[in-house]
Chains A and B, each alone.
Chain A
Amino acid sequence: MSDANDTRDELIKQLLARVEALEAKAPKDALTLGVMSGDLDYTIASFIIALGAAAYDMEVDMFFTFWATASLRDPKKSAKKNLLDTMFGMMLPRGSKKLPLSKMQMMGMGPVMIRNVMKLHGAKSLEELMKDAADFGVRIHVCTMSMDVMGIKKEELIGYPHMDFVGVGTFVDMFSKSKQCWFM
């Protein structure tokens, strides 16, 4: 009888160890969003999805890379740059209010029209969505390589409470631990 008990105890111990190992490996209730697009429509969609997930108590991490880094520029701020970076900076949108549309750009009329139509329908502006994202603890991670390539400096970015500067390794770590990963 005691042999049977020992075997059972050993089996339970092994099972518990396996459950613990599985729990440690299980993905978190989190969403990782890779944002590459610097278009107004894609950026708005990214923030709406991020906020929806935050409302569901999911941890949300947004990785801003390439064109998306320009949407985090603050037009009121400037930074010291070399000639190449200055030229690049002039060609890139200076902040969220200057983002183009992926469709129906119509030489700059498209974004103005879509912003007006969205306002008419009570939809939040991109800037309001960003503020909500800050309130809900959505984290923004900016790709340092993109910043270097685009000549974008930390000093010219918006003041966002949960922002840091990382590389692709951090992005991979974030999405490998989260249940969902999207790339826009």
Chain B
Amino acid sequence: MTKEELEALTVAKQVDARGTACPGPLLEAKRAIAACPVGGVMEVLSSDEGTKEDVSRWCGKMQHAYLGDIEADGCWRVFMRRTK
């Protein structure tokens, strides 16, 4: 998805994991996914660059859809869709 498409998404669940290092953001994502409705978009905010790849691979394993990420002000907005 392009940056514009990602920014236009309606986010059902947002997780702010900024300021926490690995494995903080991944654990926050894991905790928060239960509160995201199936089919909804979850956004993970992280100040740890590794989160992009971690969440992308985690989505692959958990069969969620990884949508992409946007870098802004030294942080990353990571988007995914809960599929089940």
Contacts and interface: CB of A to CB of B under 8 A. Distances in A.
Interface of A: 48, 51-52, 54-57, 118, 121-124, 132, 136
Interface stretch (B3-11, B21-29, B34-42, B66-74): B21-29
Contact of A124 (B24, B48, B58): B24
Given A56-B58, A57-B62, A122-B47, A48 B20 contact: no
Contacts of A57: 61-62
Nearest to B33: A55
B24 A55 contact: no
Interface residues of B, number: 15
Nearest to A50: B23
A55 B26 contact: yes
Interface string B53-81: 00000100110000000000000000000
Given A56-B58, A56-B61, A57-B62, A51 B23 contact: yes
A55 B22 contact: no
B27 A51 contact: yes
Nearest to A52: B23
A132 B27 contact: yes
A55 B21 contact: no
Given A52-B26, A55-B27, A132-B27, A124 B21 contact: yes
A55 B47 contact: no
- Max chain B C-beta neighbours (<10 A), residue from A51, A57, A122, A124: A122
A123 B22 contact: yes
A55 to B, nearest CB: 4
A38 B28 CA distance: 28
A22 to B, nearest CB: 22
A124 B19 CA distance: 11
A122 B23 contact: no
Nearest to A55: B30
Given A51-B27, A55-B29, A124-B23, 4 more contacts: A57-B62, A118-B21, A122-B20, A123-B24
27 contacts: A48-B22, A48-B23, A51-B23, A51-B27, A52-B26, A54-B30, A55-B23, A55-B26, A55-B29, A56-B58, A56-B61, A57-B61, A57-B62, A121-B21, A122-B19, A122-B20, A122-B21, A122-B24, A122-B47, A122-B48, A123-B21, A123-B24, A124-B20, A124-B21, A124-B23, A124-B24, A136-B30
